[in-house]
Amino acid sequence: MAKRDPNKTARNRRDREITSDLAALWPRVSKDSGYDNQQSFNALIGGKAATFIDLKEKVIKSADEYVSEYLSGFKKARENDGWTAGGTPFSATTLKSNHHTLTNTKATKKYFLLFLQRSFLRHYDELVRTRPSASDSEIWIGQNNSDYGILITPRFNKNGEWENDRSEIRHFPNLYWTIGHVLTTGLVVQGDPAPITFGNVEDYLNFFTKVLVRPSGSKYEREIAALYCDYVKSQKKPEDVPLLIPELRYRGKEKKHKYRLDFCVIDPVTLEKVGFEMSPWSTHGLIASTAKKSQKEINAEALKNFEKEAGKLRDYFRKHRITTLIYTDDQLSDTSKIFDEMSVYLEGGNQVTQLEFSLIEEFL
């Protein structure tokens, strides 16, 4: 039997306590507010959360912070003619009326705040996790005419393009950018409404090695890919292993790409990115026909090659915040050692930071 999470147990217990408190307050609140139906009154509070708080982007770590964000948004909306952080805006007149209803008496105020605290507890796992920005919520990989997208909540729009359903990203059930992620979403191709799906881990790894990595023509990338597959298969929970993302396209889904990064790993919890570039001299620095060139021409060509490689890595950091590790011939002589370094980043974080509810309960 799986061991119970003491924090979740404590949250559930506090949820029940608040629910009991709300039930005890309701007769007084019903009389004060004029509402006969408790669910309708609850909807007056909970139904506005997405209006007052940017739930698509905001990471909230505590009930106090949740209440503060809600009240701040509520105030802005009343003062700025229906301002909204997200969701459907309401008229300032309606919002002022709602504010009067929710704060008219001491009992109603208490009910209002307790309900917000319970809302935080019930949506805890969604609210505390770091979520990708809009620009970071999709990844495009592969060469021209052989490119694929990895999205978090993919949907095929009326324009024949794949996009994320931003409202559902916080509800995504898996760790972001892991094997489990791609098993849930599959890979997509622009213009094609049918995603490429995988029945299990083995199916994805076969596609990874034979379709995603093989076309690069790099023996080093193929060796790293094989080591990655062995690593994934050896894990107790292979679905939680971060994806080793191959051929990450600098310009995303644009048809013509500027660069591709050999491999990239995104930490599923912190969302920090690290890239890995295999740079053998034979393909990244070698200057041909040197006998026919002057030393000045050779130096100029070598400088151009160097500037191109350095510029690529700077561009990836500036645009995508990817710090890249470079492996040259000396390291490439033993790709198993390289993978040992890479595997540190594959361990990643596998659990969202938890507030220690159980310790707080014990202390109190």
pLDDT tens digits for the chain (364 residues)?
A: 455 667 788 888 999 999 999 999 999 999 999 999 999 999 999 988 888 898 877 888 888 889 999 998 888 888 877 667 665 666 777 888 899 999 999 999 999 999 999 999 999 888 888 888 877 899 999 987 789 999 999 999 998 899 999 888 878 888 899 999 999 999 999 899 999 999 999 999 999 999 999 988 899 999 999 999 999 999 999 999 999 999 999 887 877 777 889 999 999 888 899 999 998 755 555 566 666 667 776 566 666 766 777 778 788 878 888 989 999 888 999 999 999 999 999 986 555 445 455 544 554 3
Smallest CA-to-CA distance from 190 within 284, 118, 259, 253 is with: 253
The predicted pLDDT at position 351 comes to: 52
CA distances from 194 to 111, 152, 154, 162, 359 (A): 48, 16, 11, 10, 48
Half-sphere exposure of 350 (CA within 13 A, CB side): 15
Reduced to 3 states (helix: H, G, I; strand: E, B; else coil), residue 274 is: strand
Q: What is the pLDDT of residue 284?
A: 54
Q: 205 Cβ partners below 8 Å, 6+ apart?
A: 229, 232, 233
Distances in Å between the alpha carbon of 101 and those of 28, 77, 96, 106, 288?
13, 16, 9, 11, 80
Strand order in the sheet with 322-327: 192-196, 187-189, 146-151, 138-143, 245-249, 260-266, 273-278, 322-327
Q: Which pLDDT value is given to residue 61?
A: 84
Q: Are 185 and 151 in contact (CB under 8 A)?
A: yes
265 burial via Cβ count (<10 Å: 0-12, 13-18, 19+): buried
Beta carbons of 172 and 125 less than 8 angstroms apart: no
DSSP secondary structure string for all residues of 248-262: EETTTT-SS-S-EEE
Place of tokens 């809009």: 134
Instruction: Please compute, for residue 287, the number of CA atoms within 13 A of its CA located in the half-sphere on the CB side.
Output: 17
Residue 129 dihedral angles phi and psi, to the nearest 5°:
-80, 140
What pLDDT, on a 0 to 100 scale, did the predictor assign at position 364?
A: 37
To 10 degrees, the CA torsion angle through 236, 237, 240, 246?
70
AA letter at 158: K
Q: State residue 1's pLDDT score.
A: 46
Is the whole-model pTM more than 0.75? Answer: no
Q: How far apart are CA 187 and CA 208, in angstroms?
A: 11
Q: How far is CA 254 from the centre of its chain?
A: 21
